[in-house]
Amino acid sequence: MLDKISNLFSSLIQVFTLEVCLECQKESKSLICTSCIQKIKRTHNQPQEPISYGAYEGVLKNLIHLFKYENKFGLAKPLADLLIDLVPKDIDCIIPVPLHFEKLQERKYNQSALLAKELSQKLRLPLFLNVLKKKIKTPSQTDLSKTQREKNILGVFSVENENKIYAKNILLIDDVYTTGATVQECQKVLLSHRAQKVFVLTLAKS
């Protein structure tokens, strides 16, 4: 009798802990189901280049849009799970690409910081949210050419508390890699403040 009650209780727990995949709307153990993950077109990462999980299209593009613009904060964990196996060895700390404080006030959150926080917890690595700063507010990069993006982002980042990154191998986190202008500017600034290496990891490559 007790075994039957225990089994029934376990079944009820499984039912009530099921979530709904935000892509296909089917019941799932996570906000992204295995079937939808398998539909993501993976990128072929080259040595010495930024690392991305997949192409910025289809399922992954939809999920990033939900995460970035529709306040689906719960996606931070399953999206970070996709990145775990891509993290380079010998990382000392994690830093997200920052937003300007006015942009942060408008959006209320930084999606790259949420990803970085999840990775920090999973990997047990220090997370520095107040080292790399975006000191100048810039227009959106979305509709700009590569050259325009480079000019738009030039000189807008700064570093505070540089002692925290001295001789450190940094994992820089962003959501989407397009032309590379933003992460390259971040890398340049961090290295100029005596970081050892700066590795770039993003969810998607456009």
Cα distance between residue 147 and residue 176, in whole Å:
18
Q: How far is CA 120 from CA 11, 39, 89, 167, in A?
A: 33, 27, 14, 19
The H or E element spanning position 159 is strand 157-159
* Residue ranges per structural domain of the chain: 42-205
Each residue's pLDDT tens digit, 51-66: 999 999 999 999 999 9
Of 64, 63, 71, nearest to 32 (Cα)?
Answer: 63
pLDDT in tens, 156-193: 999 999 999 999 999 999 999 999 999 999 999 999 99
Architecture of domain 42-205: 3-Layer(aba) Sandwich (3.40)
Question: What are the start-end ranges of the H helices in the chain?
Answer: 2-17, 34-38, 58-69, 76-83, 101-107, 111-123, 146-153, 181-192
- Against a cut of 0.75, is the pTM above it? yes
84-137 pLDDT tens trace? 999 999 999 999 999 999 988 888 899 999 999 999 999 999 999 999 999 988
